[in-house]
């Protein structure tokens, strides 16, 4: 196939390729990511192909073929790429072309030509055809031929899967500049906004898709991202939310039309039900009511039935709770506490559902920001996060030589020592017990790192001590004071006080505190002016040596201290 394009000839886009939907985006001259609508006007393009008399239908048009032409319609195949037949779960394909074993790979038996015969079309070929359609849509929109892309993948996409996707993309005329992890693309999409501020924070990305839900806990340190834990779940997903609606409307139908039969028992009726239920679910993300309406749902009977959001939320209760549990589990898996989480980025289509966001929000403290359309005006469309991040990354690297990209993504560069504890300064008192620790560099910060802090001084100025120490984050739990029971004077107030103390029982107070550990160094700054501020710059190298500069803001001179890293303990007083 075609050799790599030279950087100058590249036209690169971002692609998100999900089992359910795909998106394409590019980055404008002023660095903004823009999602491209295809010929049908869709920005969420169903990852579906369908063949009718040899004609290939794609996206939304292919999806509507699930009703009449399911056996020649291929859907939900992304996760099959690069896998062996025995290791896949074919259940998402129950109502479309079934995957079959084909030599060492997986194929769909479909009539994809005008001939009356079925061909085994491999998942790789299907992927190539799908990507070619995406590429063409992007080329049409941009007015130039797209030939390169950054593509997002789940964090558990194996190398064999990436290799297969890489080959399929190449066949479609797309040079994959880089695969990037979906949750990281989502974080980048937020960080690339002009109003975004660089901060050290722990971010959870919950990507709630059609066939799977993925959660990642990400340490974001000065714009560098480290994944601390991930969870993948193929049970709790958008399909399940559709299913509760399918069951609900099927039962309503049966109630109303005793002779109509169960629409779930007929393939075509079920396909209609499913498509309409997904549409109803989406409508309930913006409206408080929606209308289910299908012509000839079963036995030629048209069926219309209203539903409101509250009903949907009750029906889907267990699934919303499961989403929340999943996110909480990921935080546990990262050995963190909900209090450690600054932000939760809700990604994937199901994050549009207000109850999804509410359920997740309810298991986190108020200090955690939940970025979803229903909880934050700053939220970016959850369906577009991956592709936006991919487009931004594409614009960052499209001018690099292939070797440069490969070198930069090599473990030699990416495997990095991370601080196991926070490093900071003791304020108020040099005594760890009475002093107050304030972090300057957080735990899980990759090295080398440089951070600067500006610190207040005692009111009168004078001589101060800058004591740098390590500290571990600790969650302090304060149980409510057991109400001094009026046991001795058993008067009639007993009932009241019982109620009170019961209520307060679960209201334990949880706070983030620091457990100060090893002291690293001390430095003195003398003769500070009244109201002076002290600037401390800390450089920590990959070998754990620390180089610090202390000075009075606006003052002259200062102190410099070097702490040797590695094995040997630094000798006192020999700086």
Ligand X SMILES: Nc1ncnc2c1ncn2[C@@H]1O[C@H](COP(=O)(O)OP(=O)(O)OP(=O)(O)O)[C@@H](O)[C@H]1O
Which residues contact Mg ion (rule: CB under 5 A)?
18, 209
45-46 and 21-27 as β-strands: parallel, antiparallel, unpaired? antiparallel
Q: Is 147 in the site for ligand X (CB under 6 A)?
A: no
Q: Which of 42, 112, 278, 384 binds ligand X (CB under 6 A)?
A: 278
Q: Is 19 in the site for ligand X (CB under 6 A)?
A: yes
CA distances for 427 relative to 176, 466, 513, 517, angstroms: 51, 8, 14, 15
CA 272, 274, 276, 277 dihedral sign is positive
CB of 261 to ligand X, least distance (A): 26
3-state secondary structure of 252: helix
Q: Is 230 in the site for another protein (CB under 8 A)?
A: no
By beta-carbon proximity to Mg ion, the closer residue of 18 and 59 is 18
Partners of residue 176 on adjacent β-strands: 149
Q: Which of 120, 275, 363, 544 binds another protein (CB under 8 A)?
A: 544
Binding segment for another protein (CB under 8 A), chosen from 69-77, 247-255, 474-482, 563-571, is 563-571
Angle, helices 354-361 vs 317-333, to 10°: value is: 50
Binding segment for another protein (CB under 8 A), chosen from 40-48, 74-82, 474-482, 567-575, is 567-575
363 binds, among ligand X, another protein, Mg ion, none (CB under 5 to 8 A by kind): none
Site for ligand X in 21-40 (CB under 6 A): 21
Q: Is 217 in the site for another protein (CB under 8 A)?
A: no
Binding segment for another protein (CB under 8 A), chosen from 71-79, 219-227, 282-290, 375-383, is 219-227
Site for ligand X in 333-352 (CB under 6 A): 348-350, 352
CA distance 304 to 312: 16
C-alpha angle with apex 397: 391 to 402, nearest 5 degrees?
125
Q: Which of 7, 365, 448, 480 binds another protein (CB under 8 A)?
A: 448
By beta-carbon proximity to Mg ion, the closer residue of 42 and 340 is 42
44 binds, among another protein, ligand X, Mg ion, none (CB under 5 to 8 A by kind): ligand X
Contact mark string toward ligand X, 375..404, x via CB under 6 A: --------x---------------------
Q: Is 286 in the site for another protein (CB under 8 A)?
A: no
For every residue of 302-334, which 3-state class applies, written as one string?
A: EEEEEEEHHHHHHHCHHHHHHHHHHHHHHHHHC
Nearest to 248 by CA among 329, 313, 152, 203: 313
Helix (H) or strand (E) holding 83: none
Q: Which of 7, 435, 480, 555 binds another protein (CB under 8 A)?
A: 435
By beta-carbon proximity to Mg ion, the closer residue of 282 and 438 is 282
Cβ proximity of 493 and 428 under 8 Å = no
By beta-carbon proximity to ligand X, the closer residue of 176 and 372 is 372
CB of 188 to another protein, least distance (A): 5
CA distances for 250 relative to 263, 284, 292, angstroms: 6, 18, 11
CA distance 112 to 51: 5
Site for ligand X in 546-575 (CB under 6 A): none
Q: Is 7 in the site for another protein (CB under 8 A)?
A: no
| b/e sequence 135-155, b meaning 16+ C-beta within 10 Å | bbbbbebeeeebbbbbbbbbb
Angle, helices 267-286 vs 59-68, to 10°: value is: 140
Q: Which of 166, 425, 514, 552 binds another protein (CB under 8 A)?
A: 425
CB of 14 to ligand X, least distance (A): 14
509-528 and 224-233 as β-strands: parallel, antiparallel, unpaired? unpaired
In 491-532, which ranges are E strands?
509-528
Residue with tokens 């890293």: 565
Q: Is 281 in the site for ligand X (CB under 6 A)?
A: yes
Contact mark string toward ligand X, 284..313, x via CB under 6 A: -x----------------------------
Q: Is 462 in the site for another protein (CB under 8 A)?
A: yes
CA distance 472 to 442: 10
Q: Is 433 in the site for another protein (CB under 8 A)?
A: no
Q: Which of 68, 144, 256, 450 binds another protein (CB under 8 A)?
A: 450
Q: Is 211 in the site for ligand X (CB under 6 A)?
A: yes
Count of residues that bind ligand X according to CB under 6 A: 20
Site for ligand X in 215-254 (CB under 6 A): 238
CB of 89 to another protein, least distance (A): 28
Contact mark string toward another protein, 69..88, x via CB under 8 A: --------------------
CB of 349 to ligand X, least distance (A): 2
Length of the chain (residues): 575
Binding segment for another protein (CB under 8 A), chosen from 46-54, 204-212, 289-297, 462-470, is 462-470
Q: What is the dihedral of CA 24, 29, 30, 35, to 10 degrees?
A: -10
369-371 and 343-347 as β-strands: parallel, antiparallel, unpaired? parallel
Nearest to 47 by CA among 79, 72, 16, 21: 21
Residue with tokens 């049966």: 254
By beta-carbon proximity to another protein, the closer residue of 339 and 405 is 405
DSSP 8-state class, residue 351: G
Cβ proximity of 22 and 47 under 8 Å = yes
CB of 21 to Mg ion, least distance (A): 8
Q: Is 396 in the site for another protein (CB under 8 A)?
A: yes
Taking residue 357's Cβ as centre, other Cβ atoms within 10 Å add up to: 27
Binding segment for another protein (CB under 8 A), chosen from 9-17, 39-47, 357-365, 417-425, is 417-425
369-371 and 422-427 as β-strands: parallel, antiparallel, unpaired? unpaired
By beta-carbon proximity to another protein, the closer residue of 377 and 411 is 411
3-state secondary structure of 100: strand
Binding segment for another protein (CB under 8 A), chosen from 92-100, 117-125, 476-484, 534-542, is 534-542
Q: Given the rule CB under 6 A, which residues bind ligand X? A: 18-21, 44, 209-212, 238, 278, 281-282, 285, 348-350, 352-353, 383
């Amino acid at each position: 196939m075609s050799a790599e394009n030279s950087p100058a000839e590249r036209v690169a886009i971002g692609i998100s390729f999900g089992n359910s939907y795909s998106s394409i985006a590019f980055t404008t001259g002023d660095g903004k990511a823009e999602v491209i609508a295809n010929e049908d006007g869709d920005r969420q393009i169903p990852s579906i192909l369908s063949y009718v008399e040899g004609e290939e239908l794609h996206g939304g048009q292919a999806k509507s073929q699930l009703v009449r032409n399911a056996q020649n319609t291929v859907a939900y195949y992304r996760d099959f790429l690069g896998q062996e037949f025995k290791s896949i779960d074919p259940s998402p394909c129950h109502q479309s072309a079934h995957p079959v074993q084909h030599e060492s790979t997986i194929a769909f038996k479909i009539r994809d030509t005008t001939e009356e015969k079925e061909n085994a079309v491999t998942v790789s070929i299907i992927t190539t055809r799908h990507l070619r359609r995406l590429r063409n849509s992007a080329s049409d929109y941009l007015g130039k031929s797209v030939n390169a892309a950054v593509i997002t993948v789940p964090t558990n996409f194996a190398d064999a899967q990436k290799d297969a996707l890489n080959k399929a993309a190449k066949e479609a005329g797309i040079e994959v500049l880089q695969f990037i992890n979906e949750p990281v693309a989502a974080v980048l999409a937020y960080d690339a906004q002009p109003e975004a501020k660089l901060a050290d924070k722990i971010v959870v990305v919950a990507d709630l898709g059609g066939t799977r839900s993925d959660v990642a806990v990400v340490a974001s340190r000065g714009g560098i991202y480290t994944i601390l834990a991930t969870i993948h779940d193929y049970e709790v997903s958008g399909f399940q939310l559709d299913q509760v609606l399918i069951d609900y409307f099927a039962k309503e139908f049966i109630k109303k039309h005793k002779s109509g039969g169960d629409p779930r028992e007929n393939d075509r009726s079920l396909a209609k039900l499913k498509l309409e239920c997904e549409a109803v679910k989406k409508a309930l993300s913006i409206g408080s009511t929606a209308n289910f309406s299908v012509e000839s749902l079963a036995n030629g009977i048209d069926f219309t039935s209203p539903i409101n959001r509250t009903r949907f939320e009750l029906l889907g209760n267990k699934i919303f709770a499961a989403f929340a549990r999943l996110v909480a589990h990921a935080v546990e898996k990262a050995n963190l506490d909900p209090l450690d989480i600054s932000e939760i980025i809700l990604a994937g289509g199901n994050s549009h559902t207000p109850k999804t966001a509410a359920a997740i929000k309810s298991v986190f403290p108020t200090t955690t920001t939940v970025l979803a359309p229903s909880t934050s005006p700053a939220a970016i469309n959850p369906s577009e996060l991956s592709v936006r991040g991919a487009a931004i990354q594409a614009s960052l690297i499209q001018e690099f030589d292939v070797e440069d990209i490969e070198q930069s993504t090599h473990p030699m560069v990416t495997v990095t020592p991370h601080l196991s504890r926070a490093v900071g300064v003791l304020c108020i008192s040099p005594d760890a017990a009475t002093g107050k620790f304030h972090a300057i560099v957080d735990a899980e910060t990759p090295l080398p790192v440089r951070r600067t802090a500006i610190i207040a001084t005692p009111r009168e100025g004078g001589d101060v001590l800058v004591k740098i120490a390590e500290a571990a984050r600790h969650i302090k739990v304060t149980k409510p004071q057991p109400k001094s029971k009026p046991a001795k004077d058993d008067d009639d107030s007993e009932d009241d006080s019982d109620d009170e103390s019961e209520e307060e029982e679960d209201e334990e107070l949880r706070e983030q505190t620091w457990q100060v550990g090893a002291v690293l160094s001390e430095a003195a700054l003398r003769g500070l002016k009244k109201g002076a501020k002290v600037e401390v710059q800390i450089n920590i190298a990959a070998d754990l040596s620390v180089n610090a500069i202390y000075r009075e803001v606006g003052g002259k001179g200062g102190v410099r201290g070097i702490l040797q890293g590695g094995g040997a303990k630094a000798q006192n007083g020999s700086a």
